[in-house]
């Protein structure tokens, strides 16, 4: 393995975001040349799995660190050995986040005269949730939050992602054994990625499609009138490339970046359930295609997190990325609502094939 100064640790490399970031990075000559100076070390449960082989197709020089998010000693060790750490895995898994921070702080102590280790963390805009419980909020009262004015303390500590992100913010502000921590807050990421044939389904579709089938309800938390911001996966990949380049060049001016298209039509949960329900019904995966609120028993395992994430409005304006020249061009080409039938058909076919 390469020296500690030349390692890039990636959590979530085989996921929806992970595959797209690597493909987007390969298409950016400057970033690709820079990242090729590092050994990419990917955390993966099974280095012999199909996902591992797919990752090798995308990034042939990848090295695997065998482990999952609960393998904290592995994560801490790899973070300690890494100048760059990118976490696109479960953004609410506090133990692994603490292990990353601990490892990076140890690296900082190991190299007090070197550059701060860089940690880029993918969180989510649900941190902005107004907790409207799916009820309709008049348009004039809907807030579009800008990242320029974003302060975590302005939002309830019980909101999704708030607890883990406070850990990261505190680490980034610490003077002793300092690290450079950047949090990126995407809206709902959708679309088919660049890695055709191996790119996973969008997280939101995989979550809700499976939930609808399991509960037999095309449901929502509450009546489902809440609006969520969206961005195409290819635009998200371009944004991650932009932020990475700025950070590696020492030009990233901020610790937080919102990521969405504030001009695009938002995801309305009721309509989302309606449209997916009809397609799953046509595939014989859902008996009743009509939307209705989930019964409490169907969503009790999600607790208040589910209500905050899936029943609130969390619209946002990515002013900081816009100021750096980022534009959501792919979102403008193919809207969330035009992409949804294509993605749902793919999900349904994959779901049925996995059970034959």
Rounded CA-CA distance 303/254 in Å is: 32
Q: Does domain 4-192+229-259 have CATH number 3.40.50.300?
A: no
For residue 199, pLDDT beyond 60: no
Mean local confidence (pLDDT), 168-193? 96
Q: Please give the model's pTM, rounded to 2 decimal places.
A: 0.95
Helices marked H in 88-130:
94-110
Please tell me the distance from the alpha carbon of residue 225 to that of residue 267, in angstroms, as a whole number: 10
Question: Contact at 8 Å (CB) between 285 and 348?
Answer: yes
| pLDDT of 1 strictly over 50 | no
Interval 110-166: pLDDT, tens: 999 999 999 999 999 999 999 999 999 999 999 999 999 999 999 999 999 999 999
State the average pLDDT for the chain: 94
| Residue pair 343/191 in contact by the 8 Å Cβ criterion | yes
Rounded CA separation 279/265 (Å)? 21
Per-residue pLDDT at 5 exceeds 60: no
Domain limits of the chain? 4-192+229-259, 203-227+267-313+332-351
Secondary element (H or E) of residue 190: strand 188-190
Q: Give CA separation, 315 vs 157, 259, 266, in Å.
A: 18, 10, 8
pLDDT digits (tens, 9 = 90+) for 296-351: 999 999 999 999 999 999 999 999 999 999 999 999 999 999 999 999 999 999 99
User: Whose CA is closest to 93, among 123, 131, 118?
Assistant: 123
């Amino acid at each position: 393995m390469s020296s500690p100064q030349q390692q890039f640790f990636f959590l979530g490399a085989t996921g929806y975001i992970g595959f797209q970031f690597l493909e987007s990075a390969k298409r950016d000559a400057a970033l690709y040349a820079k990242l090729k100076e590092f050994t990419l070390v990917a955390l993966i449960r099974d280095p012999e799995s199909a996902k591992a082989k797919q990752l090798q197709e995308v990034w042939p020089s990848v090295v695997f660190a065998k482990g999952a998010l609960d393998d904290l000693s592995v994560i801490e060790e790899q973070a300690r050995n890494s100048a760059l750490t990118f976490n696109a895995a479960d953004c609410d898994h506090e133990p692994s986040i603490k292990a990353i921070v601990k490892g990076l702080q140890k690296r900082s102590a190991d190299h007090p005269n070197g550059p701060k280790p860089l940690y880029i963390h993918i969180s989510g805009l649900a941190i902005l949730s107004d907790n409207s419980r799916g009820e309709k909020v008049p348009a004039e009262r809907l807030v579009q939050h800008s990242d320029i004015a974003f302060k975590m303390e302005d939002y309830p500590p019980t909101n999704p992602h708030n607890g883990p992100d406070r850990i990261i913010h505190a680490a980034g502000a610490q003077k002793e054994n300092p690290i450079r921590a950047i949090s990126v807050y995407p809206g709902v990421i959708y679309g088919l990625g660049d890695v055709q044939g191996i790119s996973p389904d969008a997280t939101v579709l995989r979550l809700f499609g499976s939930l609808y089938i399991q509960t037999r309800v095309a449901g929502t938390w509450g009546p489902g009138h809440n609006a969520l911001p969206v961005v195409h996966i290819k635009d998200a990949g371009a944004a991650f490339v932009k932020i990475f380049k700025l950070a590696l060049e020492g030009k990233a001016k901020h610790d937080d970046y919102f990521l969405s298209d504030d001009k695009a039509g938002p995801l309305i949960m009721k309509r989302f359930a309606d449209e997916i329900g009809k397609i799953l019904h046509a595939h014989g995966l859902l008996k009743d295609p009509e939307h209705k609120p989930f019964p409490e028993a169907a969503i009790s395992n999600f607790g208040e997190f589910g209500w905050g994430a899936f029943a609130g409005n969390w619209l946002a304006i990515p002013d900081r990325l816009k100021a750096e020249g980022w534009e959501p061009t792919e979102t403008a080409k193919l809207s969330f609502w035009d992409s949804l039938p294509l993605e749902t058909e793919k999900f349904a076919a994959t779901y049925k094939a996995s059970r034959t």
